[in-house]
Structure 1
């Protein structure tokens, strides 16, 4: 086999690119910001200036071009799919999908219609967000893409351990304390809305706690890791082998 260099490329063999916000949040295994979370190589691009303030609390439309540039840099290095590392990046989904020549999945919220399709009539999706107050109608409109879905949202912005690690960016994350808070948030949401039939984590910091939440609630859990696994599989198909 002959391997050939491609002009403008510095790295080879990484099919997945992840765009990361500008923050000081620890990324334990299971989060998309930690490459050990995946069974395949990933590349990263950080969008400087995409902070909690400018991306989540008071979204700044001027971030659109830096996000596009980050996506273009990833594509130039050969990635075959681009993902976002924050659910609130859904605001850039439409523009980036239109501009980039590879599939783009900027937010775990894009799974909302799929998650709902697996439910019985009358059931709803429970969404756990880093900041429920910051999820606007526009975020949900883009995520739903015209689908009609019943959902209920709760946030973690007032849970002390999560707030310290993510919102306050203290630089430290108490895993067990945050896990307990996420489980409690899931239980509280289900208690308030007993018809919830599946859970979806908006926040990309939450996949490490999906197992504990599922054990506590018995419900399916969708998050950014299920989205990346799904999207990555679509661009990394392998030939089947075996006996018939």
Structure 2
């Protein structure tokens, strides 16, 4: 049965090993990371090398689509190896690694700049995986990759799956790797983080190296924005229309200022004034009774405020 209101579906790899390793904020496995509601499912496979268990990944993705999601992603960038199988099984877009951003970001850089990529394990970045991401086996000078397999705490926590998560220590490992990469290649103009656990540390990385940093959340939030479009507000023309509609009823006999969004302005077409959001607040003082009707209307549109020094009821209509 489909569930409504959760456009993004995320399948996670089954956790192995010992210790406590929570999905902290920023991790793809933490629902608070996302600006839209998400649904999760667990694929029972043994990490990124479980290629023979492709059917488990396909089943997890298929179940999420049956539950109503409109986009499929996952918690591990090396799940990209399952992309073609998942794409063939579902009828929604599939984004299984932030590495899919690499060709796009590389093309956006000036000719004298390179793209830096930080991955969980450099040795797991095989030629087949690079080809699936749309990358050449020989990355050349335009892309440079650093792995975290030798980072003390990251490797123990996320590759060996041992012990408890030490957030500060892992952050230090990730920042050190990024700084070392930029130090060796000062021509790096952007940085891409591959692992689904790395967005939690993206802000710290950017503070340390001072260049644009992208990750899983950059990719999914971009495409999720296309699934849940929201109207734009704030243009002068919209304000004039909305204010005229919102003030199409008599004002109460007090100094009031109306604060209304576009949606609230439209909703105020028919309901009584008591249902609109009014706030008693003095912005400017202008004796409305001294103005002509046309100038009164102009003042309303220009200031979003009616202030009356008389006891009369003022009407504003189109």
TM-score (norm 2): 0.68
Aligned pair partner of 1:76 in 66, 81, 86:
66
User: Retained in 1: the 8 A contact 2:154–2:170?
Assistant: yes
Q: Answer yes or no: is 1:228 the counterpart of 2:220.
A: yes
Counterparts of residues 140-159 of structure 1 (less than 5 Å): 140-144=130-134, 150-159=142-151
* 1:48 counterpart residue number: 44
- Distance (Å, rounded) in 1 between the aligned partners of 2:137 and 2:112: 15
* 2:171 counterpart residue number: 179
- Distance (Å, rounded) in 2 between the aligned partners of 1:98 and 1:121: 36
* 2:311 counterpart residue number: none
**Highest relative contact order (Cα 8 Å, sep 6+), 1 or 2?**
1
Pairwise CA distance, 1:156:
0.9
User: Retained in 2: the 8 A contact 1:18–1:82?
Assistant: yes
* 2:89 counterpart residue number: 99
Q: How many aligned residue pairs are there?
A: 230
Q: Secondary structure at the match of 1:82?
A: strand
Which 5+ residue runs of structure 1 have no aligned equivalent? 1-7
Pairwise CA distance, 1:145:
6.0
Aligned pair partner of 2:34 in 20, 35, 38:
38
* 1:3 counterpart residue number: none
Pairwise CA distance, 1:147:
11
Q: Secondary structure at the match of 1:210?
A: helix
User: Retained in 2: the 8 A contact 1:214–1:221?
Assistant: yes
* C-alpha RMSD of the superposition: 1.9
Q: Answer yes or no: is 1:240 the counterpart of 2:232.
A: yes
Q: Answer yes or no: is 1:165 the counterpart of 2:160.
A: no
* 1:21 counterpart residue number: 13
User: Retained in 2: the 8 A contact 1:26–1:171?
Assistant: no
* 2:78 counterpart residue number: 88
Q: Secondary structure at the match of 1:17?
A: strand
- Distance (Å, rounded) in 2 between the aligned partners of 1:63 and 1:233: 32
- Distance (Å, rounded) in 1 between the aligned partners of 2:137 and 2:107: 10
- Distance (Å, rounded) in 2 between the aligned partners of 1:147 and 1:78: 37
Cα separation, partners in 2 of 1:196 and 1:86, compared to 1, 3 Å: same
Pairwise CA distance, 1:12:
2.5
* 1:199 counterpart residue number: 191
Pairwise CA distance, 1:193:
1.9
- Distance (Å, rounded) in 2 between the aligned partners of 1:147 and 1:75: 33
User: Retained in 2: the 8 A contact 1:91–1:142?
Assistant: yes
User: Retained in 1: the 8 A contact 2:130–2:136?
Assistant: no
Point out the structure with max Rg over C-alpha: 2
Q: Secondary structure at the match of 2:132?
A: helix
Alpha-carbon displacement from aligned partner over 1:85-122 (angstroms, at most 9, x marks no partner): 11101111223223311111111100001111221103
Aligned pair partner of 1:62 in 52, 57, 60:
52
